[in-house]
């Protein structure tokens, strides 16, 4: 099978397959996403998705025919059964995620079979994408139907460049936390290198959920996850601006505009175009129009609301009920305010051809776009693009992503129906000059950032993110590098091994109390084997107090360096640096105790030459705020250049600047000269050590993040496995 440099993945393909009279037919699926993908410069690409027909209704020969035919159009089908479509698409995607992510949590349904189908189908899509992407290629996954797919694909292809874009809102943490599978979804998304959202608020909500649920803090939209950097950013999707301009010049569109002019002659036309969905705020919109007719009787007989509701999920009970409510409301308003020759509302429950929709946009005096919640809403942008030289007013919900780009619209709260009615009156009375001025500003903005520009921007950032990940990956210890290290160790007559403790030899524990972090029997035995080798000199260089290290490694012949270098034990005797710190500790203790009292789960750890605030057990968002506050206050209190305030892994530590692991490593190298030097650590304190040691040393950072070390290992387990191998040579 041919492999492609770019694989685009979405729930539906841009081509739909239907069976008519026993014969397969192929129909183009219109949409902005198809336009965006077709405009990408990358020509070596394929689109993976469901072809729109259940596999139950297909023979093996028909499946083969579909695959062959779609391949001609650079598409690759993922075949789903009727049951899978029901549970994955209609179920988890649209009965669970869609309402919850649009803040209709009371409509969100949670069933185990939904989730099982969602995972199953996401895995089918991941396998399909993996089968067609080239080595070093990129995969761009779209929308809420496939939020588990990035991590599933990452497990199959660890080095692939993976992007994900969410086309609906990402809700605030207080809403998102209601989802039973909330952590699974986050981990699924974090398989990507780049995660895109329409607006910054959605990205912020996602990052907040990662912090609160997974304890992952971010910096400038970047997250460190499983040894990778994941970037998040906002990419407001545009429209194919030129397509609307071209369509206005077509004969069929001009005829439709002329016909609409005759039909609504002498009338002000308010247009509403939406997919029939509870998130669109259609009942509230109708109520606002009723208030307009009630409060501003001068518009009776002079204005008409044309409401086009595009059929959506007609088989779902919630949508059937919504349709009934809308139709009853339309009938009630028409019955209350209509006359023999005037019906206030014209309601159409149908799809309209593209040319007719553009003609409606061009003819409408007012566009009423008032969703309760919407990821972006392209109707607002399409209306503005279609008003070439014609006046018109856009009334736009502040709950849409589009409001950030279209501030010249009349912004409304869709739940405040009276204010929507007032906005309609303002729009109907606005001068043509003001209408054209506002439209002109918005048109220039939409023209400069089209759907094509959106697609190109995302791909540029995805390629950059993939490149940065590859750069990071170059420091990952390969099997070849590992074997080279083992050979160099075996060949050396004198070896120096310098090891950090927490995060390097043992995973972090939730408490700073020493007994919680004591080494396992297995770890002690391994360190003892290394230390008993006559060619080796082993040193444990840690931030832990000397009493803890002495107790943990009693009976093993090695050098201990405590408190990052403040205390050193050679040949069983401790020596310390000549720095006075006790008086400063007394000054700092009340400040830090104040934060402990206000921050449940935090603790103070006092050492001879440092004082540490631990916040591993603090709620992540509170910890982030408190840590920032404390650090600023401590810097103000200390006001000395020789004392530093350092941020570590869930700690803030205050200690003299001259005490660091770099000095300790230099001293060890001088006391125990060796042909083979290995140093391993996991955090900022170990970077001093990596910098001070000769460049040919085997310096290893354990865990993610930038480092001066030559190599990186993903976890404590990986480091332990390497030391285990060394201990048996």
H/E segment holding residue 68:
helix 60-71
CA dist., res. 359 & res. 250, Å (int): 10
Q: What is the 3-state secondary structure (H, E, C) of 424-485?
A: HHHHHHCCHHHHHHHHHHHHHHHHHCCHHHHHHHHHHHHHHHHHHHHHHHCCECCHHHHHHH
CB 52 within 8 A of CB 13: yes
Q: State yes or no: is 557 an active-site residue.
A: no
Give the DSSP per-residue string, 69-115. Answer: HHHTTTEEE----HHHIIIIIIIIIIIIIHHHHTT-GGG----HHHH
Pairing of strands 228-234, 222-225: antiparallel
Give the DSSP per-residue string, 545-569. Answer: -HHHHHHHTTT---EEEEGGGTEEE
CA dist., res. 356 & res. 676, Å (int): 77
Q: Is 354 helix (H, G, I), strand (E, B) or coil?
A: helix
CA dist., res. 445 & res. 405, Å (int): 8
Q: How far is CA 595 from CA 212, 227, 605, 630, 633, in A?
A: 20, 32, 13, 7, 11
Q: Which residue among the candidates 500, 686, 688, 718 is catalytic per the annotation?
A: 500
Residue 291's φ and ψ, nearest 5 degrees, are -65, -40
CB 358 within 8 A of CB 241: no
Q: How far is CA 143 from CA 9, 151, 664, in A?
A: 9, 15, 52
Pairing of strands 23-28, 15-20: antiparallel
Q: Which of 448, 449, 453, 653 is nearest to 543 (CA)?
A: 653
CA dist., res. 577 & res. 554, Å (int): 23
Which residues lie below 8 Å from residue 16, measured CB to CB, with a gap of 6+?
A: 26, 27, 28, 29, 51, 52, 53
Question: Token digits for 703?
Answer: 């865990």
**Distance of alpha carbon 238 from its chain centroid, rounded?**
20
Active-site amino acid positions: 500
């Amino acid at each position: 099978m041919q492999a492609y440099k770019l694989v685009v993945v979405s729930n539906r393909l841009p081509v739909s397959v239907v069976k008519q009279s026993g014969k397969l037919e192929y129909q183009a699926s219109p949409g902005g996403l198809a336009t965006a993908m077709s405009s990408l410069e990358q020509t070596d690409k394929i689109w993976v998705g469901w072809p729109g027909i259940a596999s139950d209704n297909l023979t093996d020969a028909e499946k083969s025919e579909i695959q062959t035919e779609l391949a001609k159009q650079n598409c690759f089908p993922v075949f789903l059964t009727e049951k899978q479509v029901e549970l994955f698409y209609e179920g988890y995607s649209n009965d669970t995620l869609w309402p919850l992510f649009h803040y209709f949590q009371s409509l969100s349904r949670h069933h185990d079979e939904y989730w099982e189908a969602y995972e199953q189908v996401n895995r089918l899509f991941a396998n399909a994408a993996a089968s067609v992407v080239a080595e070093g290629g990129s995969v761009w996954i779209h929308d809420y139907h496939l939020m588990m797919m990035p991590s599933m694909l990452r497990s199959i292809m660890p080095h692939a460049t993976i992007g994900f874009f969410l086309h609906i809102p990402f809700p605030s943490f207080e809403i998102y936390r209601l989802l039973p599978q909330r952590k699974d979804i986050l981990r699924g998304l974090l398989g990507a290198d780049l995660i895109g959202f329409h607006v910054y608020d959605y990205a912020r909500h996602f990052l907040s959920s990662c912090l609160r649920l997974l304890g992952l803090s971010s910096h400038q939209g970047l997250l460190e996850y499983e040894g990778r950097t994941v970037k998040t950013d906002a990419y407001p999707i545009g429209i194919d601006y030129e397509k609307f301009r071209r369509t206005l010049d077509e004969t069929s569109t001009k005829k439709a505009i002329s016909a609409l002019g005759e039909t609504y002659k002498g009338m002000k036309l308010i247009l509403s175009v939406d997919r029939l969905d509870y998130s669109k705020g259609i009942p509230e919109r109708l109520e606002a129009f009723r208030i307009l007719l009630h409060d501003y009787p001068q518009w009776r007989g002079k204005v008409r609301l044309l409401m086009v509701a595009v059929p959506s999920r007609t088989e779902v009970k919630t949508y059937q009920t919504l349709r009934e409510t809308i139709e009853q409301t339309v009938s009630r308003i028409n019955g209350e305010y209509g006359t023999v020759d005037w019906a206030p509302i014209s309601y159409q429950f149908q799809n309209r051809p593209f040319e007719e929709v553009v003609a409606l946009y061009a003819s409408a005096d007012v566009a009423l776009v008032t969703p309760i919640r919407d990821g972006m809403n392209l109707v607002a942008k399409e209306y503005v693009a279609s008003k070439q030289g014609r006046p018109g007013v856009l009334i736009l919900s502040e709950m849409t992503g589009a409001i950030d780009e279209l501030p010249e619209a009349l912004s409304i709260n869709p739940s405040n129906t009276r204010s929507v009615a007032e906005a309609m009156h303002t729009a109907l009375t606005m001068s043509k000059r003001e209408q054209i001025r506002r439209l002109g500003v918005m048109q220039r903005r939409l023209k400069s950032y089209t759907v094509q520009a959106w697609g190109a921007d995302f791909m540029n950032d995805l390629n950059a993110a993939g490149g940065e990940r590859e750069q990071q990956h170059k420091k990952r210890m390969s099997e070849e590098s590992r074997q080279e290290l083992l050979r160099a160790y075996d060949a050396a007559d004198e070896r120096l091994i310098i090891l950090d403790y927490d995060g390097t030899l043992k995973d972090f524990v939730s408490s700073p109390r020493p007994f919680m972090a004591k080494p396992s029997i297995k770890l002690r035995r391994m360190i003892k084997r290394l230390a008993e080798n006559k060619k080796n000199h082993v040193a444990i260089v840690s931030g832990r107090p000397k009493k803890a290290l002495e107790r943990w490694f009693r009976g093993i012949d090695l050098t201990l360096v405590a408190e990052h270098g403040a205390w050193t034990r050679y040949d069983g005797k401790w020596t310390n640096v000549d720095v006075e710190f006790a008086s400063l500790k007394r000054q700092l203790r009340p400040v830090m105790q104040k934060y402990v009292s206000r921050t449940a789960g935090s603790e103070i750890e006092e050492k001879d030459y440092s004082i540490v605030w631990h916040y591993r057990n603090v709620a992540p968002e509170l910890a982030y705020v408190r840590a920032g506050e404390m650090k600023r206050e401590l810097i103000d209190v200390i006001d000395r250049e020789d004392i530093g305030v350092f941020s570590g892994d869930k700690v803030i530590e205050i200690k003299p600047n001259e005490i660091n692991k770099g000095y300790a490593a230099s001293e060890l190298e001088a006391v125990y000269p060796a042909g083979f030097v290995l140093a391993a650590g996991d955090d900022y304190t170990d970077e001093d050590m990596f910098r001070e040691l000769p460049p040919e040393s085997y310096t290893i950072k354990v865990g993610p993040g930038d480092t001066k070390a030559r190599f990186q290992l993903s976890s404590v387990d990986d480091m332990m496995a390497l030391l285990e191998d060394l201990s048996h040579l």
